[in-house]
Amino acid sequence: MSKSLDSTRSSKQLSSDMNWKENIVYEIYVRSFNDSDGDGIGDLPGIMEKVDYIADLGVTAVWLSPIFDSPNRDYGYDVVDYRKIHPEYGTMEDFENLIQALHDRQIRLIMEIVPNHTSSDHPWFQESLKSKSSPYRDYYIWRAGDEKGNPPNNWTSFLGDSSWEKDEETGEYYLHTYAKHQPDLNWENPKVRQEIAQAMEFWLEKGTDGFRVDTANVLSKDMSFPDTEDTERIQGSGEPFYKNGPRIHEYLREMHDSVFSKYPIFTMGEASQVELEDVEKYTLPNRGELDLILMIEASKICDESNDMWQSKPWELSHLKDIMRKWLKDLHNEAWIGMYLSNHDHVRMVSYLGDDEQYREQSAKMLAVFLMTLRGTPNLLQGEELGMTNAHFFNSIDDIKEQQALAYYHLMVDERGEDPETILRRVLHKNRDHSRTPMQWNDEEGAGFTTGKPWQRINPNREEINAKQQEEDPNSVLDLYRRMIALRREHPVMTLGTYEPILDDHEHIYAYFRENEQERWLVVLNFSRTATVFEYSSDIAAELRHAECIVCSDEWNIDDLNEGQSKLQPYAYYVFRIKEN
């Protein structure tokens, strides 16, 4: 790790010579990973049982979804105690055992910190509610409504209701950019910043190797709270007034200087609505803020801008544009985390791939894609098996996540829209697709639980499960392991330049990765039809000296004389170009 260490402390973090950027992060959505006690909910001892599986995968870090005590309306993103583990997930001892077991295997533990809001059940908020003069009043953002009894402004929350909730007792409104049971903390108040800093130190002292900072770029608001003119937008219409807000860099620098810089850790900021210059500001090392921004754009490629529940078809040219921006145009010392799936989106094989006829093949192609991109990759549990969306969800009762339920309620009950249309949208895009339990084997509980799972298990556990793939040398899992090993062996995959070619090709996505020592070419067919790869003379000249290191089909060097190769549906080729 390249960070300076305060010599007065003995650090419990994992040390290594690897550049921190070369981490490969595995997201564990704890609730759905592995249940050790039969209550149907994943837990820390459950993760402990799988540390060897995680080590065999080859990842260097795991990121745990929030494990703090929470009423679970947003499954841990509504915190009631930043220092207490939710009893459903285990005890502090379980946590300490897990961190030790991971460190023993050279795997870092990244925790989630949720700094923008707490649960409305948090004692700070309960105190804040008591009176306008409560010492905790200023921990949150309270404002009076207007003379006509309207909220302080017209912003909508990310759940689509007003961003302001009235407290009848004191007559004032509090701000919630997310759900009304997730009141926003007031980052203008230094005591709030200190509380969060101390909570982070608490976990760092236990050896935590870093944080995913939830909604990292929304902490600073335009405190004049102007109305938005964007009244068409359903969710988060106030965004321009708090994304990358006026004091955000000051706050992050303070966090960095008072906490992050004292430990050899890395921090990943969740941030949407960021442009190149924002990410540069957040991550250029000399600024001392965050280490990387998780690049969200690819996973939102089919969202309509005014209503994220409405989809548009995605296009390869758009995906290429997104990648060009973040992998090529970004200042080379600024840094991003790359992911295609996480707990907030649908599963990548079902949306960038084809989860029917070509499920296995497209999952493999996407594995090659993710593992050959510049940046620090994050993969979601189950992605390494090619787990799919939950096509078996068929009623609103199957959905557990609050954003989807809020949207359904808003559109159907309040706006009187057609329930069938809204249900279709919600079933298509809800976040539960990525949260169905991990499929360890083909049994009824998928090896995830012996009890009743908190969320339904995908019936395709019979074909898609870890046990079966462990035994199959050609499985998606096996390819992930090989790609992760390749990436670890060749820093060019993380740090090298990214040079796309064939920009206008509708099906083929191809790019060079290069550093001073090595040059690689990746060629992917992003479609369910076979397509032709035509070699320009330059590429043919390079490929005469190439070795195909990972290929879906045998590559025939004679094709170079023909000037073209036929690529099968979802074909993938990773070539190492040898010196002349």
Amino acid type, 137: R
- Taking the C-alpha atoms of residue 326 and residue 359, their distance in angstroms, rounded to an integer, is 27
Q: Are strands 68-69 and 81-85 parallel, antiparallel or unpaired?
A: antiparallel
The residue among 163 and 170 lying less far from ligand GLC, judged by its C-beta, is: 163
The residue among 379 and 521 lying less far from ligand GLC, judged by its C-beta, is: 379
The residue among 21 and 345 lying less far from ligand GLC, judged by its C-beta, is: 345
| Catalytic residue (choose from 78, 112, 254, 270) | 270
Task: Enter the tokens of residue 389.
Answer: 């969306």
Residue 575's alpha-carbon distances to 199, 263, 543, in angstroms, are: 46, 38, 8
Burial of 274 (0-12, 13-18, 19+ CB in 10 A): buried
Catalytic residue at 562?
no
The residue among 78 and 94 lying less far from ligand GLC, judged by its C-beta, is: 78
Burial of 12 (0-12, 13-18, 19+ CB in 10 A): middle
CB of 184 to ligand GLC, least distance (A): 10
- Taking the C-alpha atoms of residue 373 and residue 84, their distance in angstroms, rounded to an integer, is 37
The residue among 165 and 214 lying less far from ligand GLC, judged by its C-beta, is: 214
Say if residues 25 and 292 touch (Cβ distance below 8 Å): no
CB of 431 to ligand GLC, least distance (A): 7
H runs (alpha helix) in 359-504: 359-371, 402-408, 419-429, 466-470, 476-489, 492-495
The residue among 35 and 270 lying less far from ligand GLC, judged by its C-beta, is: 270
CA 327-330-332 angle, to 5 degrees, is 90
Say if residues 365 and 571 touch (Cβ distance below 8 Å): yes
CB of 111 to ligand GLC, least distance (A): 13
Rg from Cα positions in the chain: 24
The residue among 270 and 289 lying less far from ligand GLC, judged by its C-beta, is: 270
| Residues composing the chain | 580
- By Cβ distance, which residue is nearest to ligand GLC? 77
Task: Enter the tokens of residue 116.
Answer: 């923008």
Which uninterrupted H or E stretch holds 194?
helix 190-204
Which uninterrupted H or E stretch holds 501?
strand 497-501
Say if residues 102 and 209 touch (Cβ distance below 8 Å): no
Say if residues 544 and 533 touch (Cβ distance below 8 Å): no
The residue among 73 and 84 lying less far from ligand GLC, judged by its C-beta, is: 73
Nearest partner of 551 among 356, 283, 368, judged by Cα: 368
Nearest partner of 521 among 504, 533, 507, judged by Cα: 533
CB of 403 to ligand GLC, least distance (A): 7
CB of 418 to ligand GLC, least distance (A): 27
Catalytic residue at 270?
yes
Nearest partner of 32 among 425, 487, 447, judged by Cα: 447
In a 3-state reduction of DSSP, which class is residue 197? helix
CB of 421 to ligand GLC, least distance (A): 24
Write out the residues near ligand GLC by the rule CB under 6 A.
74, 77, 114, 178, 214-215, 270, 343-344
CB of 178 to ligand GLC, least distance (A): 5
User: Sheet harboring 497-501: ordered strands across?
Assistant: 497-501, 508-514, 519-525, 572-577, 546-551
CB of 396 to ligand GLC, least distance (A): 19
CB of 296 to ligand GLC, least distance (A): 9
The residue among 243 and 481 lying less far from ligand GLC, judged by its C-beta, is: 243
CB of 270 to ligand GLC, least distance (A): 6
The residue among 24 and 380 lying less far from ligand GLC, judged by its C-beta, is: 380
In a 3-state reduction of DSSP, which class is residue 319? helix
CB of 546 to ligand GLC, least distance (A): 40
Residue 430's CB is within 10 A of a number of other CB atoms, namely: 25
Q: Where are the beta strands (DSSP E) in 117-163?
A: 142-143
Residue 98's alpha-carbon distances to 40, 162, 355, in angstroms, are: 20, 41, 34
Which uninterrupted H or E stretch holds 100?
helix 92-104
Task: Enter the tokens of residue 473.
Answer: 């040398």
Looking at residue 456, the DSSP 8-state letter turns out to be P
Task: Enter the tokens of residue 540.
Answer: 């043919």
The residue among 101 and 380 lying less far from ligand GLC, judged by its C-beta, is: 380
| Catalytic residue (choose from 184, 214, 289, 297) | 214
Task: Enter the tokens of residue 143.
Answer: 């404002």
The set of catalytic residues is: 214, 270
